[in-house]
Amino acid sequence: MKRVKTVKQVGVRQSLLLACLILASAGAQAAATHTITVRGMTDSVLEGGPLAHDTSTWLNKAYTLEMTVDASNTARQRVEMDDIPGEFENDWRPVQLGYTLAIAGVPAFSIVDNQYSSLETHNDVTVPAGLPEVPSGIVVGHTYDLFSIGGSQIQLGCFSGGINNVCGDVGDTYEGAGFLFDYFWDVALHDAIADDNLPSLGSPAMDFTKGFGYVDIEFWHATLGADGQYTGVDAGFIVSSVTSVSVTPVPEASTYAMMLAGLGLVGFAVRRRAAA
């Protein structure tokens, strides 16, 4: 009896080992797509304006921005930076980007965009003196890596001001929003982006605890003209602090199927040995 019991125990251990191997293999195949979760506080002021949309409920609140990013099928463009001649940015545009924003726990929008979203990286850019705008925390003369994600197409609504007070008339105002998430690393402290290739969000080098970031929520409005064209302007933005950034892999559908098949195989093996 003792020998039979030992064989069963060995069989169960082998089955569990098989399960671990299957799950590890499935996880290794899910490296292309990741979800980035950013948390922080919005500013207490909308800079710019005016807006028809009421942004007061977005001010001075805790927010959560989730972005599921897949740029694996997007070709890189290497573009010289306008404000720093001789320095280049790597631009993947568009990327497959799903994003949601919650303000004070209340969902503000949820969108999947593969037309107007963007992902940019800057590798070892040294900040010169004399730039018109330098983000808070940036030190002139220091060298930085930058990871940036942008999204738009957030429709806030039509605010009629046209002939018949019906949306679609000449003079009607449409408003929307977008966001830009920027994260900086001082390379003297942490070198996060090694080259101009698309960095893997699953890489240990992409450590979002060793730098600092911002989220700008940007608003725009556009007015319908008599020629049927829209004329738009940037209407304002809310600067938001970043207190934490976390990255988690998103398993692909084939990975889920492999995991379920593996678990089913393990269950069958355990039942078979138990019956024996």
In this structure, are 26 and 138 located in the same domain?
no
Q: Are residues 163 and 275 in the same domain?
A: no
Residues 197-202: what's their mean pLDDT? 92
What is the C-alpha to C-alpha distance for residues 249 and 111, in angstroms, rounded to an integer? 19
Same domain assignment for residues 81 and 5: no
The pLDDT value recorded for residue 241 is 96
The 96-103 sheet, strands edge to edge: 106-113, 96-103, 62-70, 34-41, 244-249
Do 98 and 183 fall into the same domain?
Answer: yes
Q: Is the pLDDT of residue 153 over 80?
A: no
What pLDDT digit, counting tens, does each position of 124-133 carry?
A: 999 999 988 8
Clarify whether residues 268 and 187 are in a common domain.
no
Neighbours of 78 (CB within 10 A): 9
Q: Check residues 135 and 124 and name the one with the higher pLDDT.
A: 124
Domain shared by 125 and 15, yes or no:
no
Whether pTM exceeds 0.75? yes
Taking residues 254-273, report their average pLDDT.
Answer: 47
d(CA 113, CA 121): 19
Predicted pLDDT at 254 = 46
Q: DSSP assignment, residue 199?
A: P
Quick one: 217 and 93 in the same domain? Answer: yes
The residues pairing with 241 across neighbouring beta strands, listed in sequence order, are 214
Separation of alpha carbons 222 and 152, rounded Å: 14
Q: Residue 96 burial (CB < 10 Å; 0-12/13-18/19+)?
A: middle
Q: Compute the distance between CA of residue 149 and CA of residue 216 in angstroms, rounded to an integer.
A: 11
Pick from 27, 101, 99, 102: nearest CA to 70: 99
Q: Which pLDDT does position 207 carry in this prediction?
A: 97
Mean pLDDT across the chain: 81
pLDDT for res 54: 86
The phi, psi pair for 56, rounded to 5°, reads: -60, -30
Residue 130's domain spans which residues?
39-247
CB of 269 closer than 8 Å to CB of 8: no
22 plus 149 within the same structural domain: no
Structural domain total, the chain = 2
For residues 226 and 199, membership in a common domain is answered with yes
The phi and psi torsions of 206 (rounded to 5 degrees) equal: -80, 70
Examine the domain organization and report whether 80 and 200 are in the same domain: yes
Reported as a single tens digit per residue, the pLDDT across 82-96 is 888 889 999 998 899
Shared domain for 218 and 87, answered yes or no, is: yes
Residue pLDDT, tens place only, 15-52: 444 444 344 443 333 346 899 999 999 999 999 877 88
pLDDT the model gives residue 206: 96
Phi, psi (degrees; rounded to nearest 5) at 199? -75, 150
Enumerate residues 6+ apart whose C-beta is below 8 A from 206.
147, 192, 199, 200, 247
Look at residue 263 and tell me whether its pLDDT is greater than 70.
Answer: no
Judged against a pLDDT cut of 70, whether residue 221 lies above it is answered with: yes
The two tokens of residue 112 are: 């999947």
Please tell me the predicted confidence (pLDDT) of residue 139: 96
Given this model, what pLDDT does residue 5 score? 39
